[in-house]
Amino acid sequence: MSLLRYHLRKLFMIFKNEVLVLPSRIVVCIFFILLLIWPLIFEDPYAMRIVILASIFAIFAASWDLLSGFTGQINFGHALFFGVGAYGAAILNRQTGMPPWGSIPLGALIAVLAGLIVGIPCLRLRGTYLALTTLAFPIILASLIMTAPEYTGGEMGMSGLARLAMSRTANYYIVVVTMLVLVTVMWKITDSRMGIIFHAIREDELAVKAAGINTTMYKLIAFSLSGFFAGISGGLYAHFMRIAGPSTLEVSMSFQVVIWCVFGGMVTIWGPVGAVFILFPLLEFLRMWPEWRELMFALIVLIILLYMPGGLLPWVRNKIETECPRCKIRNVAFRSSCRVCAAEMK
């Protein structure tokens, strides 16, 4: 009993000293808690569906940031991984009757394979050339899918996939918890030693080689990791919608993810996730004016990008938090001295 009290106390201290000190951390905490209690408060199936889809696309967006934001390997064909994950899960589910908890991870592994197949020829390419080459891959796969309709469903896609779970609430929790876990994992990866190397590869690849790092290997790791996470999101999407169709490979899918990431703030992981949770509901909200929907959406994105070139969320974060000039720890903007080193904040 006293042990339990001790741990609870410790947990509370961590919460007080690590979370409550920074507004951004409080926001993340609220985000987590809100998502987890959402179905207990709101029973509206439409809202729940929007949160589920936003969660799926949040994984997808974060996986693009992991590859293109961090390592700077700009991928304009990210839909490839989403589509391979979706079709992979669909084919496994339909042909072998494998349940979603098996078909989704296996589909994601197929997406990893796709990541390597794309990554290896792309190793020699940089910048615009890489971006334009990657653009082609999902288009190629989509046309391959059309040539084998007996396995892939062709134009119609493969429908009638197994449900994720029997109830709507269970669906919700499976997707949302998966999203929270995977996004945290991605953020942890970027915060690790490997993350430093990813950052450095984006900055100057030759200098990383000259530091004794096998950049080829790390770039392939980035492609594979990104392919895996995007593949999971594709698989979740297929099983949630109960259909895997050619729309998962569309060019608009690839561009959407770029818009989300740039809008939310690249090279952060949390930026793209936040962006999806802002833009996805926004797009639904704009359905009220169907004829103006696309235009208003484009205008909002454009205005944000013009005034906040680093993305919306980093901009907001820099408004409410400042970095200590001495120890580089972040502080609430209104503090006059650093919470760690007590240096004067100006």
Q: Which residues bind other proteins (CB under 8 A)?
A: 193, 196-197, 199-200, 203-204, 206-215, 327-328
Give whichever of 18 and 204 is closer to other proteins, judged by the CB atom: 204
Give whichever of 141 and 200 is closer to other proteins, judged by the CB atom: 200
Give whichever of 33 and 211 is closer to other proteins, judged by the CB atom: 211
Helix (H) or strand (E) holding 90: helix 79-96
Residue 204 CB, nearest approach to other proteins (Å): 5
Give whichever of 149 and 309 is closer to other proteins, judged by the CB atom: 309
Give whichever of 94 and 205 is closer to other proteins, judged by the CB atom: 205
Q: What is the spatial distance between Cα 193 and Cα 206, in angstroms, rounded to a whole number?
A: 18
Instruction: Compute how many other C-beta atoms are within 10 angstroms of the C-beta atom of residue 207.
Output: 12
The residue type at 329: I
Residue 344 CB, nearest approach to other proteins (Å): 17
DSSP string, 128-147: HHHHHHHHHHHHHHHHHHHH
Residue 176 CB, nearest approach to other proteins (Å): 33
Residue 203 CB, nearest approach to other proteins (Å): 4
Give whichever of 120 and 196 is closer to other proteins, judged by the CB atom: 196
In a 13 Å sphere around the CA of 82, the CA atoms on its Cβ side amount to: 31
Residue 117 CB, nearest approach to other proteins (Å): 22
Residue 345 CB, nearest approach to other proteins (Å): 15
Residue 346 CB, nearest approach to other proteins (Å): 16
Query: Angle, nearest 10°, between helix axes 251-264 and 79-96?
Result: 120
> In residues, how long is the chain?
346
Give whichever of 204 and 344 is closer to other proteins, judged by the CB atom: 204
Strand-pairing partners, residue 337, are 344
Give whichever of 212 and 290 is closer to other proteins, judged by the CB atom: 212
Instruction: Output DSSP code: residue 16.
Output: I
Helix (H) or strand (E) holding 332: strand 330-332
Q: What is the spatial distance between Cα 76 and Cα 252, in angstroms, rounded to a whole number?
A: 10
Instruction: Output DSSP code: residue 247.
Output: G
Residue 273 CB, nearest approach to other proteins (Å): 21
Is 315 within 8 Å of 321 (Cβ atoms)?
no
Q: What is the spatial distance between Cα 335 and Cα 103, in angstroms, rounded to a whole number?
A: 51
Residue 276: burial class (beta carbons within 10 Å; 0-12, 13-18, 19+): buried
Residue 14: burial class (beta carbons within 10 Å; 0-12, 13-18, 19+): exposed
Is 24 within 8 Å of 321 (Cβ atoms)?
yes
Residue 208 CB, nearest approach to other proteins (Å): 6
Q: What is the spatial distance between Cα 329 and Cα 210, in angstroms, rounded to a whole number?
A: 30
Give whichever of 146 and 341 is closer to other proteins, judged by the CB atom: 341
